Amino acid sequence: MRRTPTISEVAKAAGVGRATAARTLGGYGYVSADARDRVLTAAQKLGYRPNRLAQSVSTGSSRTIGVVVADVSNPFFGDAVRGASELATAKGYGILLMSTYEDVENETSAVNLLVDNRVDGIILSSSIRGTGHGDILRSARDQSIPVVLLDRQISDAELDTVIINNRESVRQAVTSLISLGHSRIGFVWGPPNEYRPRWQSELSEAAQNDLWTDGERMMGYLDALADSGVELDIDLVSMGEKTEHHVREDLGRMLSMKKRPTAIFCTETEALTGTLAAIRSAGLRIPEDVSVIGFDDSSWAAVYDPPLTMIKQPTRELGAEACRLLLDRVENGIGPAHVSVLETSVVTRESVLDISDRNSD
Amino acid sequence: MRRTPTISEVAKAAGVGRATAARTLGGYGYVSADARDRVLTAAQKLGYRPNRLAQSVSTGSSRTIGVVVADVSNPFFGDAVRGASELATAKGYGILLMSTYEDVENETSAVNLLVDNRVDGIILSSSIRGTGHGDILRSARDQSIPVVLLDRQISDAELDTVIINNRESVRQAVTSLISLGHSRIGFVWGPPNEYRPRWQSELSEAAQNDLWTDGERMMGYLDALADSGVELDIDLVSMGEKTEHHVREDLGRMLSMKKRPTAIFCTETEALTGTLAAIRSAGLRIPEDVSVIGFDDSSWAAVYDPPLTMIKQPTRELGAEACRLLLDRVENGIGPAHVSVLETSVVTRESVLDISDRNSD
DNA sequence: CTGTTAGCGCGTTCAC
DNA sequence: GTGAACGCGCTAACAG
């Protein structure tokens, strides 16, 4: 099987020197129209394709960016990757994709693989909480490869970051619930297992330690309650494992309380599906018995029965903005770290009921 | 800013020749324990990272595979990519990802980019129907880069392919509907706009020309009707643009027929969401008024009200199998094209009603 | 066991 | 305008 033709073979076939062939194929320098034609047709005939790897090792730029997310099959990340990919492709960059499945070792080797492939930059949605990114990003830093953080912020690092206004968006949504007469509002998901807070102060501390999106959203919930002077009932926040199964259990408990919540706020898709299942199996109706607000609008929310009111985030734009920041950094070098905060919006549908007239006691 | 250290710098720092450093770092050939240690610590101290690009141009293998799908943000492809990615990562391969958005030009440039990057192989979910892949796959063929087709079969090419048993799975599902007393069964989506068949023969021909999954599924539908001697009503198959919006219109028409369908079969997620919306806005109930079966089980189908009966396909495994075939081809060379047909299963829930006792007329 | 040397495909300078 | 020649970082014979 014939090996792939090189630029020198094209040159020979065209009867010119390598450099001339390289110039016309690379589109730089001077070359006569005659020579250009001969090279082009020769290249065409031989099925010549430039070797980007060789180009990269020669020029030092691979025109490839690395993207590492928790899980491509998660629609949120899928959409973010799409946003980044569209922009990258338009500018002639390739995308090397890695998933971590929230595992630190996976994340480390993902970053290392990208570095070894000499990507021009990395978009990273890290699964590390709090500090301690030094180790993971070390190889990238050593090779001075720019990194943009996506969706998950890191406190210490001076890195470009793209996030949404998690805290504020939840605060607004929960506040609107309160203004509609709801005061017992369930919150799924609260902080992870290990914290197990028992009082407001502990809860708030747990949320703040948790620099993740979840922590931010929880803070928004607490903000809203505090703003409106509604007392927190810690039994109304679901804690522990973040699985649909666990939510169903937790919610089963909540919904069978003597004073059960009149509304539930869900911070993620799985939290929402678990909640819906629990409500249904408790024989309750939405919104007559329980109001529901979810996060991250998905296609099915609009056709659910009843259609679900959701907080919608500009997921694709999140990825696009990350890519924009990254390419800017790649092409225009250094400067102070920039953090983009994108806005969410609430899509009002029919899963929230106004019960303010029921509170005439 | 210090440039990234090369293998010769490591060698010098360790006081050995390049080759020795290369041998220990590359893990091949003989090298004394002493030298090995010195090289390793030197590499460690300098933060050395191998340049895979240089390795690739030298060895001719990039240990990277290309994946091109219609759209990463589509959960189906997201999951398939995950399956492929997991396996590739485990074997030390990187993944270059491209989306086509069902556009032929995009597909061509995607494949070309991958070829130019000298990927070791390509997993392709092509948006081309029928024949005419010659142009798109030409560069890959010229460079003799193996290609595995994913989810969408191509007739002429002798390529490894991974698909599901579309036709048979639909046949079975529709047959079960018939055995429960349904005879007027709506089908979404039928063949695309340009065909506009008006009779059974034309419809069947259109489906067969359409070598895509949709065509196969439509054939399964026709099979089931024929098997059971149920007459086809062509007004019960939705045609034209494959958008949720269009489905709603089409279904609005169907549901207001004098003899409206008692069941609807949906071949894709968007077809399903459109159908659900139409049913709801017609004021009909599932399954009392209309039964529904969807394709490609998603998390929300289980918590819908009522829970939806779905045909489930092994999406992730689809990607994994494609990757398996590809890596086998990459590592063990040639052989006859292999096509893997994966099995679907039906997840029975509560959206289908037995109406066989209603047919006592 | 180790160092020298010749490629791999391509970009690019520098005389002609 | 054009070609010869060197370098990019690395692999892999090949002698020693």
Q: End-to-end alpha-carbon separation of chain A, Å?
A: 86
pLDDT value of residue B1? 45
The pair of structure tokens assigned to A81 is 């990757």
Best residue in B64, B73, B115, B318 for a mutation probing chain A (most A CBs within 10 Å): B73
Phi, psi of A285 (to 5 degrees): -110, 150
Residue numbers of chain B with a pLDDT score lower than 50: 1, 361
The pair of structure tokens assigned to A264 is 């539930």
Identity of residue A48: Y
Contact between residue A95 and residue A65 where contact means Cβ atoms under 8 Å apart: yes
pLDDT tens, N- to C-terminus, chain A (361 residues): 456 899 999 998 999 988 899 899 988 778 888 889 999 999 999 999 999 999 999 999 999 999 999 999 999 999 999 999 999 999 999 999 999 999 999 999 999 999 999 999 999 999 887 666 778 888 998 889 999 999 988 766 689 999 999 999 999 999 999 999 999 999 998 877 666 677 777 777 777 766 578 888 999 999 999 999 999 999 999 987 888 898 999 999 999 999 999 999 999 999 999 999 999 999 999 999 999 999 999 989 999 999 999 999 999 999 999 999 999 999 987 889 999 999 999 999 999 999 998 765 4
- Reference A306, options B305, B59, B215; nearest CA is B305
Please report, for residues A62, B4, B285, the alpha-carbon distance to residue B58 in angstroms, rounded to integers and kept in the order given: 16, 19, 65
Q: Which window residues (1-30, chain A) lie with Cβ within 7 Å of strand C? A: 3-4, 6-8, 18-19, 22-23, 25-26, 28-29
Q: Which long-range contacts does A37-45 make (Cβ < 8 Å, 24+ apart)?
A: A38/A14, A39/A10, A39/A11, A39/A14, A41/A14, A42/A10, A42/A13, A42/A14, A43/A10, A43/A14, A45/A13
User: pLDDT by residue (tens digit) across B24-33?
Assistant: 998 877 888 8
pLDDT value of residue A307? 96
- What is the count of residue pairs from A and B with beta carbons less than 8 Å apart? 166
B12 contact to strand D (CB, 7 A limit): no
Q: For residue A342, what is the DSSP state? A: E
- Interatomic CA–C1' length for residue A74 and nucleotide C15, angstroms: 59
Q: Name the one residue in this structure whose structure tokens are 């029921």.
A: A358
Q: Are strands A121-124 and A64-69 parallel, antiparallel or unpaired?
A: parallel
The total of other beta-carbon atoms located within 10 Å of residue B336's CB is: 6
Answer yes or no: do B143 and A305 touch at CB < 8 A.
no
Q: Which long-range contacts does B240-244 make (Cβ < 8 Å, 24+ apart)?
A: B240/B192, B240/B193, B241/B192, B241/B193, B242/B189, B242/B192, B242/B268, B242/B270, B242/B271, B243/B270, B243/B274, B244/A299, B244/B270, B244/B271, B244/B273, B244/B274, B244/B277
pTM metric for this prediction: 0.94
pLDDT value of residue A176? 97
DSSP string, B174-239: HHHHHHTT---EEEE--S-TTT---SHHHHHHHHHH--SHHHHHHHHHHHHHHHHTPPP-GGGB--
Contact between residue B277 and residue A302 where contact means Cβ atoms under 8 Å apart: yes
Contact between residue B352 and residue B289 where contact means Cβ atoms under 8 Å apart: no
Q: For residue A301, what is the DSSP state? A: G
pLDDT value of residue A3? 67
pLDDT value of residue B215? 84
A62 contact to strand D (CB, 7 A limit): no
- Protein-covered nucleotides of chain D (CB closer than 7 Å) are 1-5, 7-13
Identity of residue B140: A
B17 contact to strand D (CB, 7 A limit): no
Q: Name the one residue in this structure whose structure tokens are 């030092």.
A: A60
